[in-house]
Amino acid sequence: MEKQIINTNNAPAPIGPYNQAIKAGSMLFISGQIALNPESGQLEKDDIITETHRVMQNLRNILTEAGMDFSDVVKSTIFIMNMDDFSQINEVYGKYFSGYFPARETVQVAALPKGVNVEISMIAVK
């Protein structure tokens, strides 16, 4: 199976030894995204709503680079620092899908990179 590295300047550059995404055949595996603004390099975490929107915009930009969109997403994993933020994250997340929602799990964790409050990874199929 042919693998292709997907990178875009419209999402943050990886902060470790990984790629933004890997396309393997018709499947796209997107690394966890945090609320880094790709233009400024600054975190956007004024509140959990702003932070979640930035994460979803980064994911959308990677999907676009791969010729996909949120309708192609089949699986998401959401990592959050505080389960009390779940409903707000869920509300923002849901706005990026129209009628079709992927399989998903949400996990509360002890820490996330750069002290963020939410990180989301996705798998998409075209």
- What's the whole-number mean pLDDT along residues 112-118? 96
* pLDDT tens digits for range 82-96: 999 999 999 999 999
Rounded Cα distance, 66 and 115, in Å:
28
* Among the listed residues 65, 79, 87, the one whose alpha carbon sits nearest the alpha carbon of residue 9: 65
> Residue 126: pLDDT above 90?
yes
Rounded Cα distance, 121 and 126, in Å:
17
* pLDDT tens digits for range 1-25: 899 999 999 999 998 899 999 999 9
**Complete domains list, the chain, with CATH:** 3-125 (3.30.1330.40)
Identify which has the larger pLDDT, 16 or 72: 72
Type of residue at 4: Q
Average pLDDT, the chain: 97
Q: Which two tokens stand for residue 60?
A: 């959308």
Q: Tell me if 20 sits within 8 A of 30, measured CB to CB.
A: yes
Rounded Cα distance, 100 and 7, in Å:
26
